[in-house]
Structure 1
């Protein structure tokens, strides 16, 4: 089919060529041969009267026109995809939809782990592709490669709808044999202690608490910096170090490891995790269903008071259910 003399099938090829900047990788993505993909590129060059991709050494570089086409072409294809997915109703029990979600491993631990457990019963054929937030996250959401993003306010992507999902505060986590494990930590003790910090995402992003403390007059002495939250218990156990973590995660870790939770003596404001989706998927029935499931699970969270210490928890035996 043609529109304004353009074969609309070429839009799919153009999107692949602009995203991969490679004829061979585009051919793989389109399930076409390299000669057929080269022919498509030639037809696109003729239509736009522009080279679109110029070979520099062993790579292709987009022309200024090609760079301007990236977003509108991707938007058109996303709108078409949305139209083709619209159904009178959505049945999670029979759907085989694959949904991609980006979040921190903190969110995976405290929220998404329960969501996928429930989905195993409610939507046994659906697939959930859970990915870590990275510097490319905004591009992933803009391009539709990621359908849902769960992130704090500073990491959400402009131009797409969102809703608050849950909030949390901060607590300190210590090894159970730490001298302050059963006491109260002062501000001076907090800043004098060696810390385990977390800088997540491929670009080593600072966590929310680290961002706030970075502009204060006092600095934490970080002896160890972990690439994610999951590794913190292994880096704390049997040491005199301290970690500052979201309270929900801190309590969860204390139940599973030889750790305890104490109140954070520094008044760090609470934060809200937001659920975000692409603007063209605002009425996608599958996304609406998953959003409702996420809100349902988050709505069942117990409240965490600011800097309120959790009681010392003994390790629970694993359930045999």
Structure 2
């Protein structure tokens, strides 16, 4: 039987329940001809009359008695599926969310988020990964739910929301022998050795563009793969490093690190959270997005 839908199942069940084509039509707000046409399709499909006129109305045949149970089960499943709406209760959920961010993001975002989860969503779990060239594909596939950082080039189909603005500053050892003031001069900047972090998902492309545009040169003394080594290397050497201000203020507390102004203006950049439109209405992802946005509101 082609094109079987919920209406067909409801017609069969209503005839079985009322023993009447006319009452079935009235109860379903259908014309008698429409109900009769659907019954004819069932009869043709099964090769059985299914319902026979008697003194007590349209009574089911044995085959109709046999299939009414599975029919009703199928009807209930279809109804439940059509009426299904996704639901998320943070207080009781044990869902594992995939988050993608840099190690800077982890220092800025995660302490606030984990404290909030402890109080409001104790069963919710987080699976953290680093921003990479695979981030866009992982968002599209659902492998990760949100990516936080500076992702400059995403194709159509991705949404983003600003979390906060940040700017770049310079950090040095608090006891650096040559850099004493609140700011560093351009000559000092170009004379000193620099620590460079080779990472993705941050706004450092803004720094590179500024240096190139202003013909500023820097002498790279150390290149490291992530920001985890910034604190120890800056605190124990005479290198300079350019880092986001929020990160700089965090690591300067309790460490032998001083924050200094750069000798040239660098545009601010926006830190965003990104997700794919496939999961834009997922209530769990909506809750997580709203939670992070609220926690990081300036």
**TM-score, length-scaled by structure 2:** 0.67
> What is residue 132 of structure 1 aligned with on the other side?
130
Matched, 1:215 2:204: no
> What is residue 187 of structure 1 aligned with on the other side?
186
Q: 1:87 deviation in Å?
A: 4.2
**TM-score, length-scaled by structure 1:** 0.62
Deviates more, 1:259-268 or 1:243-252: 259-268
1:47-89 CA distances to partner (integer Å, 9 max, x unpaired)?
xxxxxxxxxxxxxxxxxxxxxxxxxxxxxxxxxxxx99x7464
Q: 1:214 deviation in Å?
A: 5.5
Q: 1:210 deviation in Å?
A: 4.1
Q: Provide the secondary structure at the position in 2 that maps to 1:95.
A: coil
For the 8 Å contact 1:97–1:127, the answer to whether it is kept is yes
Matches within 5 A, 1:271-286: 271-286=269-284
Q: Provide the secondary structure at the position in 2 that maps to 1:112.
A: helix
Structure 1 unaligned regions, length at least 5: 4-82, 302-321
Instruction: Give the Cα separation in 1 of the matches to 2:105 and 2:154.
Output: 14
Q: 1:187 deviation in Å?
A: 1.4
Structure 2 unaligned regions, length at least 5: 4-80
> What is residue 63 of structure 2 aligned with on the other side?
none
For the 8 Å contact 1:87–1:285, the answer to whether it is kept is no
Matches within 5 A, 1:81-230: 87=85, 89-156=87-154, 158-178=156-176, 179-201=178-200, 207-213=204-210, 215-216=212-213, 217-230=215-228
For the 8 Å contact 1:153–1:272, the answer to whether it is kept is no
For the 8 Å contact 1:181–1:262, the answer to whether it is kept is no
Structure possessing the higher radius of gyration over alpha carbons: 2
Q: Provide the secondary structure at the position in 1 that maps to 2:184.
A: coil
1:21-72 CA distances to partner (integer Å, 9 max, x unpaired)?
xxxxxxxxxxxxxxxxxxxxxxxxxxxxxxxxxxxxxxxxxxxxxxxxxxxx
The structure-2 alpha-carbon separation of the partners of 1:186 and 1:218, relative to structure 1 and needing over 3 Å to count, comes to same
1:152-192 CA distances to partner (integer Å, 9 max, x unpaired)?
14154542111111110011101010132434311121122
> What is residue 239 of structure 2 aligned with on the other side?
241
For the 8 Å contact 2:207–2:266, the answer to whether it is kept is no
> What is residue 15 of structure 1 aligned with on the other side?
none
Instruction: Give the Cα separation in 1 of the matches to 2:229 and 2:169.
Output: 17
For the 8 Å contact 2:102–2:202, the answer to whether it is kept is no
